[in-house]
Amino acid sequence: MIKLEHLTKDYGKIRAVDDLSFQIGRNEIFGLLGPNGAGKSTTIKILTTLVKPSGGRAALDGFDVVREPLEVKKRIGVVPQENNLDRELSAFDNLRIYGLLHHLPDLEQKIEEQLRSVDLWERRKDNIQTFSGGMQRRLLIARAALGGPRVLFLDEPTIGLDPQVRREIWNMIRRLRAQGGTVLLTTHYIEEAEALSDRVGILSRGKLIALDTPANLKKMVGEYVVEYLDGEGNQLTRMCAGREDAECFLREAGIEVRRRRSNLEDVFVKLTGERIEK
Amino acid sequence: MNWYPIFLREMIQFKKKLFRLGYIFTSMMVPLLYLLAFGLGLGRSIQVPGGSYLGFLLPGLVAMSSMNNAYNWVASGLNLSRVYFKTFQVLIQSPIAPTSIMAGYVLAGMVRGLFASLMIILVGLGARAGFQLTPLFVFTLLLNCFLFANMGVLIGMITKTHEDTSTYANFFILPMVFFSGTFFPIDRMPAVLQAVVLCLPLTHTNILIRKTALDGQGITAILVMLGYALFFFVLGARKIKNYSE
């Protein structure tokens, strides 16, 4: 569904996206994980025709994002990191303008369905300046999903939201996939990438440093983590292939701080020596 | 009709602004001040060929006001939408041609320019300034709004900050207000300056808007205005087509 080949983006001397190549299949939820500045948003902006790449190629459903942007735009819905709803318009008008821009048939009915699905139908006439952050985020997702896009891009969809709203949005994303869509989301929340993604691509400084299912990525670095203190009181981490390995290490070390299952943060630390959630 | 959603969005915003306290008054403020200061004050001692000074000034104020409003609405709105509110991203990511985006903004700018002009025209009619609403007057007004709304799109697309739109206005729009024949006939200027102001689009609006019938000079004015409009339209549409954040 989505294919990137040696995709590169330079901003002056800074390389934001560095030789990215991977594919995303139909009906897949693909997570791009990495810290701020890793190139996640730039990658999404290239795929959604907002940024022109400096090199390489990207195609969506067989259409080149640079040479055939109109065909690409017909197939996508985008939830940006920054709220780009029209602040002076009501929730209904925001969706109406979007639907008209995308030539959607039966628009009124579709708007009602979407607003009901995000629990905003009763607030449809209200100016969105009166909405909370979570409500605006839900409206952004409803707008992106309005035409039933083949690919939905979500750039940090739950950033700054409380855990309850975050889980509501996760359920919305799962529903969208259940309706047959492909989802590409970026996040720097480990839990989010693990909970939602079929496969995860880990980005660091514009480069793809790992790509697999969350389970395989964790297996790659060791499924258990032992965190312990050395003689000088520094907290150290040891990745262990399995529970037995971890227990064996603990017996030898003689002191345990914590033993837990590994997560994608550990994968990132192992591969880059840095942390995602700083 | 791909331009319609953009036009509709701008009109919804315009309608909301229209009902805000003082909006109409604010938009009329500058031309009314000019009218009072120049028309009723200085104007008593200024002679113009073929009628009263007020009759000369009012079409100029209509041209000025339509230019200012068509330009500012589009340039300022587009710049804010692109740089601060990011709503322009929604247009770029929609399956519509750059010329449709351009057309939507230009038509909205024209409405804004016409609305502001209407206010001045009503004041002029009330003051019995002696100017007539001929078809040529209306055509000139429409063409002027079209021209400067197109310029607004281009400036809105190339400015990096909101302050830059004011800078362009100070360098290009404000000199035209004073030197393009709004307040006095351009033949009162030194010959060298006349040659310069004849290159400015508002000069041709002011020439055309005061004519009662089309002649050779009027046709030249139309061609110059259309040339400028086309120039701004092509550059603006190209900027939208090549847009990249």
CATH number at residue A100: 3.40.50.300
**Chain B partners of A88 at a C-beta cutoff of 8 Å?**
12-13, 16
The predicted pLDDT at position A124 comes to 94
Same domain, yes or no: A60 and A193 = yes
ipTM of model: 0.87
Number of domains in chain A: 2
pLDDT at A278 over 60: no
| Tokens 């399995």 sit on residue | A242
**A187-242 per-position pLDDT tens digit:** 888 888 888 899 999 998 999 998 999 888 888 777 777 777 776 777 777 777 77
**Chain B partners of A49 at a C-beta cutoff of 8 Å?**
92-93
Between the CA of residue A140 and those of A43, A101, A109, B163, what are the distances in Å?
Answer: 20, 15, 18, 29
Of the pLDDT bands very low, low, confident and very high (cuts 50, 70, 90), residue A251 is low
**Contact between chains at B89 and A84 (C-beta distance less than 8 A):** yes
- The percentage of chain A sitting over the pLDDT mark of 70, rounded to a whole number, equals 93
The predicted pLDDT at position B40 comes to 73
Same domain, yes or no: A260 and A137 = no
**Chain B partners of A71 at a C-beta cutoff of 8 Å?**
95
pLDDT at A257 over 70: no
Specify the length of chain B in residues: 245
The predicted pLDDT at position A254 comes to 60
CA distance B20 to chain A (A): 13
pLDDT at A178 over 90: no
**Contact between chains at B90 and A84 (C-beta distance less than 8 A):** yes
Q: Identify whether A82 is part of a domain.
A: yes
**Contact between chains at B94 and A89 (C-beta distance less than 8 A):** no
The predicted pLDDT at position A163 comes to 81
Q: Does residue A100 sit at the B interface (CB-CB below 8 Å)?
A: yes
CA distance B97 to chain A (A): 8
Print pLDDT tens along chain B (245 aa).
Answer: 789 999 999 999 998 888 776 777 777 777 778 877 777 777 767 777 777 888 888 899 999 999 999 999 999 999 999 999 999 999 999 999 999 999 999 999 999 999 989 888 887 787 776 777 889 999 999 999 999 999 999 999 999 988 888 888 888 899 998 899 888 888 888 888 888 999 999 999 999 998 888 888 999 999 999 999 999 999 999 999 999 98
Same domain, yes or no: A130 and A247 = no
The predicted pLDDT at position B186 comes to 87
Last residue of a domain, one of A190, A213, A236: A213
The predicted pLDDT at position B125 comes to 80
**Chain A partners of B243 at a C-beta cutoff of 8 Å?**
50
Same domain, yes or no: A25 and A156 = yes
Residue scoring higher pLDDT (A178 or B224): B224
**Contact between chains at B91 and A101 (C-beta distance less than 8 A):** yes
Of the pLDDT bands very low, low, confident and very high (cuts 50, 70, 90), residue A94 is very high
Last residue of a domain, one of A213, A228, A249: A213
> Residue B245 is nearest to which of A51, A73, A74, comparing CB atoms?
A51
**Contact between chains at A102 and B94 (C-beta distance less than 8 A):** yes
The predicted pLDDT at position A255 comes to 63
- Average pLDDT on A85-111 reads 95
> Residue A78 is nearest to which of B93, B95, B245, comparing CB atoms?
B93
**What residues make up the domain containing A268?**
217-272
Q: Please give the torsion angle defined by the CA atoms of residues B55, B58, B60 and B66, in that order, rounded to the nearest 10 degrees.
A: -150
**Contact between chains at A86 and B9 (C-beta distance less than 8 A):** yes
Last residue of a domain, one of A184, A213, A242: A213
- Which B residues 85-124 touch A at CB under 8 Å? 85-87, 89-97
Q: Identify whether A278 is part of a domain.
A: no
* Dist CA A185 CA A154 (whole Å): 5
